[in-house]
């Protein structure tokens, strides 16, 4: 944006009553803070000394400015997970994809406008494993005067689910990478920063307490900020009505259990329809494969006003860890609201038909503990992080940083899902490379994400930056291009930015490439991202300035 336009906008927006525009200014100081949880004390990286970090509030159409200053010894970037960043890829945040990191002692101001989105999202660090403690909520309110498409809740509460390691997560991942084996699983899950009243050494007064009044309705803005685990979420004695996921409205439906993958967000209404009492809230892992997870259940309490403190808490049994039917029931209940005001704009024709295998494998490694290391790949390409930002390389035409030959289909055809088990090859011939898939502006894309069973089938929550997509289909086994598309939902499929690919199955998504720039696609299980389960789309500019990437801001960090 021209500087004078920005100044004019700032001045005009000082009087928000006069015009429909607002500027929201935030200051993030990335600093260390000493904290005690789970019987251990350690310094953690935080924003403004808070864990979880501060919630960012904005209204649809607001211009958000966040000045991030890095006071720690690590390089840092912040990603506004799910924010479309139309033409503002410079503010997206993944390190070496859209920007060089903010180095110790430096600052960078993220500058973006919230367009066509309302609901809950999250922000988090997007470099190494720093997002373990560097994360917080984003609340996008509808435009002034526009109601929610559901009864207005009496109160709203941000509920952030996380994962906690007793040791330093940067050490955990660095040791794992050197040795080639899987990193340790976490030591606890957390709800708003606390493992909860059932945890053996819970400090902080027994965990997060949601104080409610009988008869009122509460909207929980639930965020899974965990690094590596999908979570079930339940409240004893209460049902939850889902109304929105990933900042898009859904057809409301009622359930006793939510499933939420890392990177996903869910708004759910909880009606305090009991007279009084204390009710346990539980967040527990979902894993329907042989992969090890942290099996600790995080807890919190819904506490009715007027309840005696001696009252015993009504507990709830979390679903079994491998409760695939409960997970499927929840996922299959999710549909776009698809109303007149909020239509589901599903692409009905497809320009690019892509099939990406996503999964793990083993590669030789002379320096590793077992002579081999775990790797992860998409279409047999283990993505290599560049040391310079891809978006800058693209914008300034700097060659030698990436290639645009990412395969649109698996280079080797095999029994991807390994159903029956053991029928995938033991080796997928992983190649390394910083390869991008190039799309013209406004191309429509159908992408089938196919899990592989090379080590073991596993659920992969895949996140796409810069776009929302529609989940048009989902199934078990190998995707069948002749049969499966006949059952696609092109009317009201759920719209989101992060989607679980089922263990030993596939998920089909569609999106329109209406956002020029370089956009990361990766598994939101951070350990899989580390191992290479990531790639990027390069979307060309369209015609004229409104369809083109803006120039980089002057304070963009350098590498």
The yes or no reply on residue 522 touching ligand C2O (CB under 6 A) is: yes
Contact 98, 517 (CB under 8 A): yes
Nearer to ligand C2O, 126 or 460 (CB): 126
**Closer CB to ligand C2O, residue 435 or residue 463?**
463
Contacts of 174 by beta carbon, 8 Å cutoff, 6+ apart: none
> With helix as H, strand as E and coil as C, how does 130-186 read?
HHHCCEEEEEEECCCCCCCCCCCCCEEEEEEEEEECCCCHHHHHHHHHHHCCCCCCC
Nearer Cβ to ligand C2O (195/461): 461
Residue closer to ligand C2O (CB basis): 79 or 189:
79
Strand partners, 138: 56, 121
**Is residue 528 within the footprint of ligand C2O (CB under 6 A)?**
no
Query: Which range binds ligand C2O by CB under 6 A, 390-398, 420-428, 487-495, 516-524?
Result: 516-524
Q: Is 520 in the site for ligand C2O (CB under 6 A)?
A: yes
> What does the alpha-carbon distance between residue 272 and residue 269 come to, in Å, rounded to a whole number?
10
Question: Number of C-alpha atoms within 13 angstroms, CB side, residue 112?
Answer: 28
Q: How far is the CB of 140 from ligand C2O (least distance, A)?
A: 16
Q: Are 264 and 461 in contact (CB under 8 A)?
A: yes
DSSP states of 450-487? EE--SS----EEEEESS--EEEEEEEESS--TTTGGGG
Shortest CB 463 distance to ligand C2O, Å = 5
- Helix, strand, or coil here: 327? helix
Shortest CB 539 distance to ligand C2O, Å: 16
Look up residue 91 and give its two tokens: 């503010």
Closer to ligand C2O at the Cβ: 96 or 164? 96
Q: Does 394 bind ligand C2O (CB under 6 A)?
A: no
Smallest separation, CB 330 to ligand C2O (Å)? 21
Interface with ligand C2O, residue 79, by CB under 6 A: yes
Measured from the CB atom, is 124 or 303 closer to ligand C2O? 124
Binders of ligand C2O in range 442-471 (CB under 6 A): 463, 465
The least distance separating ligand C2O from the CB of residue 525, rounded to whole angstroms, comes to 11
Q: Is residue 94 a contact residue for ligand C2O (CB under 6 A)?
A: yes
Q: Rounded to an integer, what is the distance from CA 147 to the centroid of its chain?
A: 26
* Min dist. Cβ of residue 132 to ligand C2O (A): 13
364 Cβ partners below 8 Å, 6+ apart?
A: 371, 372, 373
Give the nearest distance from C-beta 313 to ligand C2O in angstroms.
33
Nearer to ligand C2O, 81 or 194 (CB): 81
The b-or-e profile of 330-346 (16+ CB within 10 A means b, else e) is: bbeebbbbbeeebebeb
Number of residues binding to ligand C2O, judged by CB under 6 A: 11
**Interacting stretch for ligand C2O, rule CB under 6 A, among 16-24, 156-164, 191-199, 519-527?**
519-527
Q: What tokens appear for 71 in the block? A: 């006071």
Between 303 and 465, whose beta carbon lies closer to ligand C2O?
465
User: How is residue 179 written in tokens?
Assistant: 């040795």
In the bound state with ligand C2O, the residue whose beta carbon lies nearer, of 189 and 465, is 465
**Joined tokens for residue 51:** 């864990």
84 lies in the site for ligand C2O, by CB under 6 A: no
What does DSSP assign to residue 546? G
Instruction: Provide the minimum distance between the beta carbon of 294 and ligand C2O in the complex, in angstroms, as a whole number.
Output: 20
For residues 402 and 520, which CB has a smaller minimum distance to ligand C2O in the complex?
520
Q: How far is the CB of 501 from ligand C2O (least distance, A)?
A: 16
Of 126, 435, 460, 474, which lies in the binding site for ligand C2O, with binding defined by CB under 6 A?
Answer: 126
Q: How far is the CB of 137 from ligand C2O (least distance, A)?
A: 13
> Nearest residue to ligand C2O, using CB?
81
Contact 241, 288 (CB under 8 A): no
Nearer to ligand C2O, 84 or 522 (CB): 522
Nearest 5°: phi and psi at 526?
-60, -35
Binding mask 160-199 for ligand C2O (x = CB under 6 A): ----------------------------------------
Which residues within the stretch 237-296 sit at the binding site for ligand C2O (CB under 6 A)?
263
Looking at beta carbons only, is 463 or 474 nearer to ligand C2O?
463
**Residue indicated by tokens 């930015």:** 497
CA 468 to CA 84: how far, in whole Å? Answer: 7
Return the range that interacts with ligand C2O (CB under 6 A); candidates 347-355, 386-394, 483-491, 520-528.
520-528
Please say whether the beta carbons of 228 and 262 come within 8 A: yes
C-alpha 256, offset from chain centre: 23
178: left (phi over 0), alpha (psi -120 to 50) or beta: alpha
Cα pseudo-dihedral 120, 385, 388, 90, rounded to 10: -10
Contact residues for ligand C2O, defined by CB under 6 A: 79, 81, 94, 124, 126, 263, 463, 465, 520, 522, 524
């Amino acid at each position: 944006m021209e500087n004078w336009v920005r100044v004019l906008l700032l001045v005009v927006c000082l009087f928000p009553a006069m015009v429909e525009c607002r500027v929201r200014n935030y200051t993030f100081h990335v600093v260390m803070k000493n904290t005690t949880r789970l019987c251990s004390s350690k310094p953690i990286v935080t924003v403004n000394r808070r864990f979880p970090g501060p919630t960012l509030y904005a209204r649809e159409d607001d211009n958000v400015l966040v000045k991030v200053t890095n006071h720690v010894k690590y390089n840092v970037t912040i990603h506004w997970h799910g924010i479309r960043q139309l033409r503002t890829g410079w503010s997206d945040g993944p390190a070496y994809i859209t920007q060089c990191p903010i180095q110790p002692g430096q600052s960078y101001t993220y500058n973006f406008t919230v367009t066509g989105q309302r609901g809950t999202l999250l922000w988090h660090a997007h470099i190494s494993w720093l997002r373990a403690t560097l994360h917080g909520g984003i609340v996008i309110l509808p435009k002034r005067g526009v109601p929610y498409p559901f009864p207005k809740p009496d109160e709203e509460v941000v509920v952030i689910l996380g994962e906690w390691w007793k040791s330093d997560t940067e050490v955990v991942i660095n040791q794992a990478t050197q040795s080639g084996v899987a990193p340790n699983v976490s030591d606890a899950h957390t709800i708003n920063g606390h493992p909860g009243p059932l945890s053996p050494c819970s400090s902080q007064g027994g965990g997060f307490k949601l104080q409610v009044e009988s008869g009122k309705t509460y909207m929980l803005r639930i965020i899974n900020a965990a690094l590596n685990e999908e979570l079930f979420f339940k409240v004893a004695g209460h049902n939850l009505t889902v109304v929105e996921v990933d900042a898009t409205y859904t057809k409301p439906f009622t359930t006793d259990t939510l499933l939420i993958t890392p990177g996903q967000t869910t708004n759910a209404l909880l009606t305090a329809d009991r007279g009084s009492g204390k009710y346990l809230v539980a967040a527990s892992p979902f894993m329907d494969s042989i992969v090890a997870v942290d099996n600790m259940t995080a807890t919190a309490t819904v506490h009715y006003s007027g309840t005696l403190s001696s009252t015993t808490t009504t507990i709830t049994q979390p679903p079994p860890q491998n409760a695939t039917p409960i997970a499927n029931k929840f996922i299959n209940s999710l549909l776009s609201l698809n109303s007149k005001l909020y239509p589901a704009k599903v692409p009905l024709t497809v320009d690019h038909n892509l099939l990406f295998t996503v999964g793990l494998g083993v590669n030789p490694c002379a320096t590793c503990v077992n002579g081999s290391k775990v790797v992860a790949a998409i279409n047999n390409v283990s993505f290599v992080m560049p040391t310079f930002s891809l978006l800058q390389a693209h914008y300034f035409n700097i060659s030698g940083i990436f290639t645009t030959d990412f395969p649109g289909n698996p280079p080797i055809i095999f029994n991807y899902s390994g159903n029956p088990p053991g029928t995938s090859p033991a080796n997928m011939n992983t190649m390394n490379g910083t390869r991008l898939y190039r799309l013209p502006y406004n191309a429509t894309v159908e992408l089938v994400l196919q899990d592989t069973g090379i080590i073991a089938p596993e659920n992969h929550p895949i996140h796409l930056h810069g776009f929302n997509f529609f989940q048009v289909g989902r199934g078990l086994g190998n995707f069948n291009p002749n049969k499966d598309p006949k059952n696609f939902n092109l009317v009201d499929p759920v719209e989101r930015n992060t989607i679980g690919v089922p263990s030993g199955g596939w998920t089909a998504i569609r999106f329109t490439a209406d956002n020029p720039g370089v956009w990361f696609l990766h598994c939101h299980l951070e350990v899989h991202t580390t191992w290479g389960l990531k790639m990027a789309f390069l979307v060309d500019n369209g015609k004229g300035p409104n369809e083109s990437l803006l120039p980089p801001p002057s304070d963009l960090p350098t590498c």
